[in-house]
């Protein structure tokens, strides 16, 4: 049998194999293949059907690309019902990943045997939908209400051992296909015929609260929990109808479209690190503070030998302590053992005072103070101490990468790698292509990013690259609203309501007001022509010494760590408006959000127009993974597309008419709105 599903009948057993690389999604062709395979098995009068997958995947779920189109026959729920009602037992030999529709297929089988490395789950809520082929109704009947609420409501993916403990699989075997041929079928009824689980209102309410904390603003997790709860009250057929209706309604929603957009953008970004480039086996990290220690720890975790450099003996000891704390935390969280942590530190990490006796290295990165001359001095020293083959990288957040690397012997081996703190946790990595960076150097950096399991985003050189450039513009827009009538707590509340994890003033209090203050001084905002300077934040730093949480006060007052609006800050805001001759007015939360997010979008179009980013989706990934833009809104560029670029253009034109110093119309936005293009149709030159 040709196509993505093969059926071989031998000795009274039909072996049905789904072979639809790379991940065996249940595309229409696969669904048609399953129908033909079941027809063949039934016509042959076999005594058993063994269902498995090719490669490392059983079935990885639906083809998300089909979600935007009307459902096409044959439908997966019908195939699953046929498997459950098949005249002979169907046994799932779960050779690898079984997710979404793949697990729903397995649930319909009379027995499930998993390979030790198999993973199972119903993660549909992470794509803005719910299981649509029986998962919310069959899984609770098989493993109970509480575990099903956790797996479905959180979209968790579990290993074979945990699945066996829950009763989701019957056994774990090294060769599930061979065992499936002779495995004794359990005497229980088919999954759909099992009794409904007893109601548990407390467990359901706890799951709802957990979903609200984990996924604020998202619809699908709460809908999924409602469906699992319904399995305790509804007959199977009625529950399946409600589930399918919910799935079909959600799959065309804005949230589902946004989450699919992010999913595919992440896959495209991470695929850049596959193939090409050289393998890194040794590295030098300069600077043992929070960032440098975290980078060194992450590299050592890959098996890379890391030499960590500090300028003096005291710095070396601080660096050693910072790294040791990261290992201690990993032990505490169960990520490693104390013995393994000690061995890794002893064998993969060395600490050096100065550059005199550094070992040769494939790669070197600095993570020192954000000062141009300091960084240039570091690279002069590294260039002299390391072989010509060593790739040199700066971790600058804002500075001109071209200037930082001026003077190195082999400029083609120089680039920027902007890690986000904490570097061993945050998935985003801005890969900054300097004017001289070679394609081979970029390929090696992307390969390293893939090993680190980062989402690498290529960016050109400008102040702040993609993320910090947009962040600077966003904060400036919010500061203007303070001058014109808003207050910090209102701005933060409005943007949290939009879905941001924190408002801009809460974020500044967390990171420290001195960081943004130093950047404003570097940029010369106070004297910059054609720029609307807002003095509020500078006054706070210079006159009050309030730097945020680390000093116990910033934009907010803190009592026992709890933030409350500050009358002092509100007074400074009002004073500065009066000093500028501004008559303050009332802002609604909607207007705050519209202006703040529109400024992100405008800056995003300029970044794309200038070729700093290659794709609108790259801008979205930077803002989601680096700056906590709500994933379920898809990033600012995708969000702009859902609103409609003509409407975005109209809004920005109106803002520019009232404040031409702060707003302008990117030509790329005008062009896209005029031609009916969306953000994904636009390409930058990065």
Q: Are 81 and 103 in contact (CB under 8 A)?
A: no
pLDDT at 234: 97
- Exactly one of 42, 66, 84, 124 is catalytic; name it: 124
Predicted local confidence at residue 526, as pLDDT: 84
Long-range contacts of residues 469-473, Cβ cutoff 8 Å, at least 24 apart:
469/603, 469/607, 469/612, 470/600, 470/603, 470/604, 470/607, 470/619, 470/622, 470/623, 470/627, 470/636, 471/627, 472/519, 473/599, 473/600, 473/602, 473/603
Structure tokens at 339: 């013995």
Does the annotation count 542 as an active-site position?
no
List, in sequence order, every residue forming a beta bridge with 175; answer none if it has no partner.
none
- Decide: helix, strand or coil at residue 309: strand
Other beta carbons within 10 Å of 547: 20
What distance in Å separates the CA atoms of residue 86 and residue 108, rounded to the nearest whole number?
A: 10
The per-residue pLDDT for 686 is 46
Concatenated DSSP letters for 613-664?
Answer: BSBHHHHHHHHHHHH---GGGT-HHHHHHHH-HHHHHHHHHHHHHH-TTT--
Task: Return the structure tokens found at 462.
Answer: 């400008």
Tell me the three state secondary structure of residue 511: helix
**Helix locations, 485-615, DSSP H:** 488-498, 504-511, 513-523, 536-539, 567-579, 589-609
Token pair 């960084």: residue: 375
Residues lower than pLDDT 50 in the chain: 686
**Domains of the chain (ranges, CATH numbers):** 5-252 (3.90.226.10), 282-459 (3.40.50.720), 467-681 (1.10.1040.50)
* Residues 587-622: tens digit of each pLDDT: 999 999 999 999 999 999 999 999 999 999 999 999
124 is catalytic: yes
Kindly list the strands in the beta sheet with 119-121, ordered across the sheet, starting from the edge strand earlier in the chain.
Answer: 57-59, 97-99, 119-121, 157-159
Where in 243-382 does DSSP place strands (E)? 282-286, 305-310, 349-353, 363-366
* Listed residue (338, 397, 643, 373) closest to 519, CA to CA: 397
Cβ-in-10-Å burial (0-12, 13-18, 19+) of 182 comes to: exposed
Token pair of 668 as six digits = 């790329």
Contacts of the segment 491-498: beta carbons below 8 A, 24+ positions apart? 491/592, 491/596, 493/589, 494/589, 494/590, 494/592, 494/593, 494/596, 495/592, 495/593, 495/596, 497/589, 497/593, 498/593, 498/597, 498/630, 498/633
Distance CA 174, CA 99 (A): 20
Determine if the pTM surpasses 0.85.
yes
Catalytic pick from 66, 84, 104, 366?
Answer: 104
- Tens of pLDDT along 167-223? 999 999 999 999 999 999 999 999 999 999 999 999 999 999 999 998 899 999 999
């Amino acid at each position: 049998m040709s196509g993505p599903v093969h059926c071989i009948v031998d000795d009274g057993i039909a072996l049905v194999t789904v072979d639809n690389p790379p991940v065996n999604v249940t595309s229409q062709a696969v669904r048609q293949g399953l129908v033909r395979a079941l027809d063949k098995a039934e016509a042959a009068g076999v005594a058993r059907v063994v269902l498995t997958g090719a490669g490392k995947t059983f079935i990885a779920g639906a083809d998300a690309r089909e979600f935007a189109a009307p459902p096409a026959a044959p439908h997966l729920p019908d195939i699953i019902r046929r498997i459950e009602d098949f005249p002979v037992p169907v046994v799932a030999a779960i050779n690898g990943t079984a997710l979404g529709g793949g697990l729903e297929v397995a649930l319909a089988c009379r027995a499930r045997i998993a390979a030790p490395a198999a993973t199972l789950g119903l993660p549909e809520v992470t794509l803005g939908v719910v299981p649509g082929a029986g998962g919310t109704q069959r899984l609770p009947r098989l493993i109970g209400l509480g575990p099903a609420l956790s797996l479905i409501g959180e979209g968790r993916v579990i290993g074979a051992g945990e699945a066996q403990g829950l009763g989701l699989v019957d056994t774990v075997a090294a060769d599930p296909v061979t065992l499936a041929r002779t495995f004794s079928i359990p005497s229980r009824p088919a999954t759909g015929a099992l009794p409904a689980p007893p109601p548990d209102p407390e467990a359901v309410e706890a799951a709802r609260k957990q979903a609200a904390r984990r996924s604020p603003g998202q619809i699908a997790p709460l809908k999924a929990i409602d469906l699992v709860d319904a399995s305790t009250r509804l007959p199977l057929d009625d529950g399946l109808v409600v589930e399918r209706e919910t799935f079909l309604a959600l799959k065309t929603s804005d949230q589902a479209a946004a989450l699919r957009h992010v999913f595919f953008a992440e896959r495209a970004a991470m695929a850049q690190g596959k193939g090409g480039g050289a393998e890194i086996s040794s590295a030098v990290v300069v600077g043992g503070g929070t960032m440098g220690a975290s980078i060194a720890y992450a590299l050592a975790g890959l098996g890379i030998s890391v030499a960590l450099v500090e300028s003096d003996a005291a710095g070396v000891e601080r660096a050693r302590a910072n790294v040791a704390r990261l290992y201690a935390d990993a032990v505490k969280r169960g990520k490693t053992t104390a013995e393994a942590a000690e061995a890794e530190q002893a064998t993969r990490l060395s600490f050096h005072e100065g550059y005199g006796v550094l070992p040769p290295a494939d790669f070197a990165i600095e993570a020192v103070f954000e000062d141009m001359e300091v960084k240039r001095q570091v690279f002069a020293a590294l260039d002299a101490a390391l072989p010509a083959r060593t790739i040199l990288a700066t971790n600058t957040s804002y500075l001109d990468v071209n200037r930082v690397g001026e003077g190195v012997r082999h400029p083609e081996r120089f680039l920027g790698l902007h890690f986000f703190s904490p570097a061993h946790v945050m998935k985003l990595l801005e890969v900054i292509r300097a004017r001289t960076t070679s394609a081979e150097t970029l390929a090696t950096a992307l390969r390293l990013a893939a090993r680190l399991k980062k989402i690498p985003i290529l960016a050109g050189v400008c102040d702040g690259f993609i993320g910090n450039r947009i962040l600077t513009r966003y904060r400036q827009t919010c500061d203007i609203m303070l001058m014109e009538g808003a207050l910090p707590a209102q701005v933060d509340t409005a943007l949290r309501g939009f879905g941001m994890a924190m408002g801009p003033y809460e974020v500044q209090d967390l990171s420290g007001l001195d960081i943004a203050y130093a950047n404003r001084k570097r940029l010369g905002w106070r004297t910059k022509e054609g720029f609307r300077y807002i003095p509020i934040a500078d006054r706070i730093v210079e006159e009050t010494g309030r730097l945020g949480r680390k000093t116990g006060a910033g934009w907010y007052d803190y009592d026992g760590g709890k933030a409350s609006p500050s009358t002092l800050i509100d007074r400074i805001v009002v004073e500065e408006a009066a000093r500028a001759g501004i008559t303050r007015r009332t802002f609604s939360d909607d207007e705050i959000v519209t202006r703040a997010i529109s400024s992100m979008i405008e800056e995003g179009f300029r970044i794309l127009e200038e070729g700093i980013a290659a794709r609108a989706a790259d801008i979205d990934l930077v803002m989601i993974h680096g700056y906590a833009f709500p994933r379920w809104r898809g990033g600012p560029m995708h969000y702009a597309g859902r609103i409609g670029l003509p409407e975005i253009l109209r809004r920005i034109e109106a803002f520019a008419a009232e404040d031409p110093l702060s707003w302008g119309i990117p030509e790329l936005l005008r062009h896209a709105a005029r031609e009916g293009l969306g953000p994904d149709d636009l390409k930058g030159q990065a």
